[in-house]
């Protein structure tokens, strides 16, 4: 009986006290101030999906209608024989099928930029870095601001 109580105590000690306290790795990659600077307007953070099985999402919305969405996958997000590099390549191939994809350097092991029309209209940067796949989607953000956000986020992976 003592062993069962000790085991239950260990399990409960590892659980978050409240849902609000769950860590969201995607939200740790950018700050509200960094989003505000990219938007040129006040920004509000929205936790879309706290980490579950290795994937987390976070977004920021500007008062001017601009937006940033981050999706971070790591660890348990990759099932079976799949690894982060496979997931990254699948995303890249998906966007290549939709239009022009530009290879980026200096953001991780591999990175790409996909823009639908202009970068300011809608753009996505995909980054493979240290076993993580990070997708950064933006709307209403300049190319320079998007690349700066990508550098910040990749540096925090």
**Domain 23-155: which topology?**
Protein Transport Mog1p; Chain A (3.40.1000)
Angle at 85 between CA 32 and CA 125, to 5 degrees: 35
Residues 49-85: pLDDT tens digits?
665 667 888 899 999 999 999 998 876 666 655 688 8
Per-domain residue ranges for the chain?
Answer: 23-155
pLDDT level of residue 93 (50, 70, 90 thresholds): very high
Strands lying side by side in the sheet with 123-129: 43-52, 55-62, 67-74, 132-139, 123-129, 110-115, 101-104
* Model confidence, pTM: 0.79
Residues in the chain: 157
């Amino acid at each position: 009986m003592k062993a069962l109580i000790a085991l239950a105590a260990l399990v409960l000690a590892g659980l978050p006290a409240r849902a609000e306290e769950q860590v969201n790795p995607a939200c740790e990659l950018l700050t509200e101030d960094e989003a505000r600077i990219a938007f040129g307007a006040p920004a509000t953070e929205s936790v879309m999906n706290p980490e579950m099985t290795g994937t987390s999402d976070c977004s920021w919305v500007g008062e001017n209608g601009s937006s940033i969405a981050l999706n971070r996958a790591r660890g348990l997000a990759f099932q079976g024989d799949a690894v982060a590099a496979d997931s990254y390549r699948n995303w890249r191939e998906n966007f290549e099928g939709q239009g022009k994809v530009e290879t980026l350097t200096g953001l991780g092991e591999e990175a790409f930029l996909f823009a639908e029309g202009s970068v300011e209209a809608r753009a996505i940067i995909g980054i493979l870095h240290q076993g993580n796949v990070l997708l950064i989607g933006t709307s209403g953000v300049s190319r320079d601001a998007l690349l700066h956000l990508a550098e910040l986020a990749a540096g925090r992976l």
